[in-house]
Amino acid sequence: MKYARMGLQMSVQMGENKVSDHSVPETQHQVTLQSDDDRKINHYEKVKEDVRSEIKMRIKQRDYFAIQLVIMLVLLCAVGFADKGYTQVLIVAPLLSVFYTMLILHSYRKHDALARYARDVLDPQLAELCQIDPAHEWHSFDFKTAKSGVLRVFYLWAMWVVCLGSMTFLWFNAASGFRQTISIFAGVYILAMLYITLSFMGDAEVRRKAKHKGSPHNSGVYLS
């Protein structure tokens, strides 16, 4: 009886040792997984912060371009209308408008690429690691409800108004010998404006389809 009791105690101790031996590797494995997740979260958060900074920079950049365009057009008009002999300088106005409009729309295109990367790559990864639903994020709400593209349309309309208005004014006020030059410049400007407008329409169609279809992870855009 005594030997049987001792054998039972030894069996219980061996079982406890086995459980303890299995629990240590399991705990270490959980700690390793948690450490990997934290490292990934920190990495994605840093990349996302870089993307946000780049988007903010693009917004400021467009504001600077718009301000520069307005200032240069005002100065050009002041010179052109100051004396009748300087009216021909207005032929440069469409060039400035086309150039700055192209820069502004290019900045919008880079903005869209950054926003798509944040929406379709970074946000889903962070949501998965943090075990949250990306559909409840502010980005998702903004992507579904925001009406973007108004300023882009304004810049395009302003470009057409400046170009057609200045060339029409020059046509009726310039000397007859200068009208052939005006016609050549007008043709070049119209081709450039058509190219920019068609490119904008293509970008607008891509944004419209993306908004209608939605992201596969139902997440949104930051500052779009």
pLDDT tens digits for the chain (224 residues)?
444 444 545 554 555 555 455 554 556 555 565 677 778 888 888 888 898 899 899 999 999 999 999 999 999 999 888 877 788 889 999 999 999 999 999 999 898 888 888 888 887 888 788 777 766 666 666 666 666 678 888 999 999 999 999 999 988 887 777 888 899 999 999 999 999 998 888 777 666 666 666 544 443 333 33
pLDDT of residue 140: 62
Find where tokens 């061996």 sit.
14
Find where tokens 């119209």 sit.
190
Q: Which of 73, 77, 75 is nearest to 95 (CA)?
A: 73
User: Could you tell me the CA-to-CA distances from 138 to 49, 127, 164, 201, 224 in Å, in that order?
Assistant: 16, 13, 42, 28, 12
pLDDT of residue 33: 55
pLDDT of residue 147: 63
pLDDT of residue 65: 96
pLDDT of residue 27: 62
Residue 55's contacts (CB-CB under 8 Å, 6 or more residues apart) are: 111, 114, 115, 118, 222, 223
pLDDT of residue 95: 95
0.85 exceeded by pTM: no
Helix and strand totals (H; E) in the chain: 6, 0
For residue 94, the Cα-to-chain-centroid distance in whole angstroms is 27
